[in-house]
Amino acid sequence: MPMKSLSPTIAIATLFHSHHHHPQVILLNHHSCSLSHSLRPPRHHHLITQSLPKRHRLKLEFLTRAADSTQPSTASAATDKTLVTDDEVSLAKVSFGVIGLGLGVSLLSYGFGAYFNILPGSEWSALMLTYGFPLAIIGMALKYAELKPVPCLTYSDAQALRETCATPILKQVRNDVIRYRYGDEQHLEEALKRIFQYGQGGGIPRRSAPILQMIKEEVTEDGKYCLVLVFEAKALQLSDFEKRQGKFTSFFGPGIAAEVGKGESNLYEVRLISNSSSMASAS
């Protein structure tokens, strides 16, 4: 019976002479030996008991060989879609309302305690009360006018393309919406006012204005950087975004193309795709 081919290992049989008259027990370890035609995973150890003639013993040794380096790999390089955590420390991501209110209330509390001799430092009580009151008022005002940043989901492949492929306007939009703002009713207020024409002919009522919920940084299938604006608009339809697709392109341009789509529930996505691809940037 012909032997099946073994890949990627070689079996070497060597005949030895021995003076022992008892059957020999041979332990074969062929964890890297497998039949090329078999789909079953190899078992690690086989215990073979074999009775050999007198003065003869057959010993098999399996030598492993490294796989052929020229063999093509079946695994293809997949796009890196892991999320990147935002660990950047910046004053723009700090609420000045919280800081002012916290300092003001702390100074006022300690100042009153020191003034009534509950806490030490009565000689500084007047100074703490003098500065604590306006700080608390300013902190409350900033907290009232505060607009919190929106969440930003960034994929690692998009982060690598941001500096080279994102236009200056796309970078500015991203930086503006992920920081605290004061005095604005919503993010991208001026842009949405011009695009949807609040209260004008052919526009929409201001109360129906879409609200930015989050942004995403992605890479398109053809390797282009894409900033996705996710809006919530309960009073609008997809057609209201589609007929203003050109306005999104002109306002956030040049160098980008805008696409709109429907998300979950009342969410709509506006994809701002940079015309500069990774291949063009590399060249």
**pLDDT tens-digit profile of 172-190?**
999 999 999 998 889 999 9
Q: What is the pLDDT of residues 76-135, one digit of tens each?
A: 334 567 887 776 777 778 899 999 999 999 999 999 999 888 889 888 889 999 999 999
Phi and psi at 114, nearest 5°, equal -70, -35
pLDDT at 61 over 50: no
Q: Which fold has domain 152-282?
A: Threonyl-tRNA Synthetase; Chain A, domain 2 (3.30.980)
Residue reference for tokens 């099946």: 4
Domain boundaries in the chain? 10-63, 91-144, 152-282
Cβ(257)–Cβ(247) below 8 Å? no
The residues that bridge with 28 in the sheet, in sequence order, are: 46
Spacing of C-alpha 52 from chain mean position = 65
Residues pairing with 217 in the sheet: 154, 227
Q: What is the pLDDT of residues 209-218, one digit of tens each?
A: 999 999 999 9
* Cα separation, 217 vs 274, whole angstroms: 11
C-alpha–C-alpha distance, residues 255 and 276, integer Å: 8
CB 20 within 8 A of CB 57: yes
Give the tokens for residue 233.
Answer: 């608009």
| pLDDT, averaged across the chain | 75
Which residues make Cβ contacts (< 8 Å) with residue 283, sequence separation at least 6? none
How many C-beta neighbours within 10 Å does residue 42 have? 13
Quick one: CA dihedral 160, 164, 165, 166, positive or negative? positive
**Alpha-carbon gap, residue 33 to 277, rounded angstroms:** 46
Q: What does 11-26 look like in DSSP terms, one character per residue?
A: EEEEEE-----SPEEE
Residue 182: count of CB within 10 angstroms of its CB:
14
